[in-house]
């Protein structure tokens, strides 16, 4: 992909922090032709996905799964690259094996019939409730996912979406939202734990995060072979080697 910009519009830009947000912003700015300097207080990039090494062992410090792989593909394509040339991303099934103290296991995946069968085994009366929850989640996904890349820079821009947020019960936590539909305590955990993936608390995080269930059901859950150190490194390396004017500063 070739992108041309007016040289007079190009700027020297400093990005502070090399988490996923910082890396993504820096790469997009650099692809537009801007001179980008990234500041990072640690010895290497990653942010919440920092990789720790000690005594010959490697530990992932944050997320290890991918729920929207096309966002990564878009970033590589923006730079004229292919994801598969740098990292292998594979679908996983089941997404999670959720284990409970009583020995029961819920194998969470995108197979609707398997999900319903397991729900029936845990608590038959929750099958109908799950279907209603899934339908409500679709509505949240339709509204919420469209907002993820929308800037809210004014009160007016925020006010426009307030009616939708109220209608979708965004004032409720994920846990309380799920509990409206599902009665079995184990199943309540199965369908409300997702805020933990982003460091949130299911009992405090807005019910908007219930859209993750729909996201996973539609697009699956993916894993980068080699884990974080292999999918953070390609992004950060672009900042240093993709074009000669890249600048990396660790402070």
pLDDT in tens, 94-150: 999 999 999 999 999 999 999 999 999 999 999 999 999 999 999 888 887 776 666
Q: Is 249 helix (H, G, I), strand (E, B) or coil?
A: strand
Choosing from 7, 8, 216, 229, the catalytic residue is 216
Phi, psi of 98 (to 5 degrees): -100, 115
CA 176 to chain centre: 22
> From CA 36, how far away is CA 96, in angstroms rounded?
39
According to CATH, the superfamily of the domain at 7-63+228-250 is FAD/NAD(P)-binding domain (3.50.50.60)
Estimate the crossing angle of helix 20-31 against helix 228-237, to 10 degrees: 30
216 annotated active-site? yes
- pLDDT category at 241 given cuts 50, 70, 90 is very low
- The boundaries of every CATH 3.50.50.60 domain in the chain are 7-63+228-250
- Runs of H (alpha helix) within 44-154: 69-78, 112-122, 126-144
Q: Name the pTM for this structure.
A: 0.75
Cα angle 240, 235, 30; round to 5: 60
> From CA 147, how far away is CA 33, in angstroms rounded?
27
């Amino acid at each position: 992909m070739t992108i041309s910009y007016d040289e007079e519009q190009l700027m020297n830009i400093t990005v502070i922090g090399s988490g996923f947000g910082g890396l993504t912003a820096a790469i997009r700015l650099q692809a537009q032709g801007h001179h980008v300097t990234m500041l990072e207080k640690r010895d290497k990039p990653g942010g919440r996905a920092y990789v720790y090494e000690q005594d010959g062992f490697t530990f992932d410090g944050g997320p290890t799964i991918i729920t929207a792989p096309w966002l990564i593909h878009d970033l590589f394509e923006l730079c004229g690259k292919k994801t598969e040339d740098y990292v292998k991303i594979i679908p996983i099934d089941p997404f999670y094996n959720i284990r409970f103290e009583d020995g029961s296991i819920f194998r969470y995946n995108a197979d609707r019939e398997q999900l319903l069968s397991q729900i029936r085994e845990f608590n038959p009366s929750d099958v109908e409730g799950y279907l209603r929850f899934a339908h409500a989640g679709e509505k949240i996904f339709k509204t919420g996912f469209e907002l993820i890349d929308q800037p809210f820079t004014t009160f007016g821009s925020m006010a426009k979406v307030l009616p939708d947020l109220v209608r979708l019960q965004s004032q409720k936590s994920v846990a309380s939202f799920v509990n409206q539909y599902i009665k079995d305590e184990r199943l309540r955990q199965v369908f409300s734990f997702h805020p933990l993936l982003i460091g949130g608390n299911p009992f405090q995080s807005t019910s908007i995060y219930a859209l993750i269930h729909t996201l996973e059901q539609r697009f699956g859950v993916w894993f980068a072979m080699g884990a974080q150190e292999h999918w953070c490194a390609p992004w950060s390396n672009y900042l240093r080697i993709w074009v000669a004017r890249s600048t990396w500063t660790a402070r």
